[in-house]
Amino acid sequence: MESDIELMLRTKAGDDDAFSELMNRHYKGVLNYIYRFTNLKENSEDLAQEVFLRVYRSATKYRPEAKFTTWLYRIATNVSLTYVKKKNKNVSLDEMNEKTGEIEDSGVEISDDIIYRKEIKNVIFSAMESLPEREKVAIMLCKYEGLSYEETADVLECTVGAVKAYVHRGRMKLVNKLKPYLTEEGEYGV
């Protein structure tokens, strides 16, 4: 299998099929990354498309020293943060409703499990949103995108130790915020 770098170099040389292959590999990851920033599937599709457009546009400037995923997630992070900042600046009531209220598929029976999953999704989103950006980004990249600490450090342009600290602090804040959803006594309860 060709590496991402080889595909990107082919893209640079004008081979669009190579870029389609890169999208096949990474689009879903980027889409979900953005989705977890915004909690809105529709917008996430648009933003994921924007990320790949930006990558495609700058393909001519690509140099193989840069790891493709690092570069990709750096752009995705910038696009997401820009969107979130802009959105939070002019958040309207409609948008707030849109954020938490979702339209149900009529005629579909909703089980307790679906209700729980939906609730927990919104609760996790809110808890994540309350974290400082670097802690949020570090957790999302490590936990959800499966990036290594080293790769995450490259995205955030910081040390591996700093990434671990971000993840650690963020994780502890999430424990505090999501306590009602955790076992009160824990496995070793008193």
Partner 1 sequence: MECKDIKGILIQYSLGDLGQVEKVGVEKHLEECNECRLYLSQSNELWNLLDTWEEVEPDDNFISQFWDQASIDETKYKPGFLSQLRNFKLNWTLAGAMASIFLVSIITFAVFSPDTTNTLFTSADEQDELILIELDNALSRETADVLSIYGPWDNTLDVNGNGGMN
Please identify, using beta-carbon distances, which residue of 96 and 120 lies nearer to partner 1. 120
Please check whether residue 36 is in contact with residue 123, taking contact to mean a CB–CB distance below 8 angstroms. no
Q: How far is the CB of 71 from partner 1 (least distance, A)?
A: 6
Q: How far is the CB of 85 from partner 1 (least distance, A)?
A: 7
Please identify, using beta-carbon distances, which residue of 41 and 91 lies nearer to partner 1. 41
Please check whether residue 120 is in contact with residue 127, taking contact to mean a CB–CB distance below 8 angstroms. no
Q: How far is the CB of 97 from partner 1 (least distance, A)?
A: 20
In whole angstroms, give the CA distance from residue 87 to residue 164: 29
Q: Which residue, among 66, 64, 52, has the nearest Cα to 154 in the 3D structure?
A: 66
Please identify, using beta-carbon distances, which residue of 93 and 153 lies nearer to partner 1. 153
Please identify, using beta-carbon distances, which residue of 57 and 93 lies nearer to partner 1. 57
Structure tokens at 68: 């493709």
Q: What angle do CA 75, 55, 38 make, to 5 degrees?
A: 40
Q: How far is the CB of 93 from partner 1 (least distance, A)?
A: 25
Please check whether residue 30 is in contact with residue 72, taking contact to mean a CB–CB distance below 8 angstroms. yes
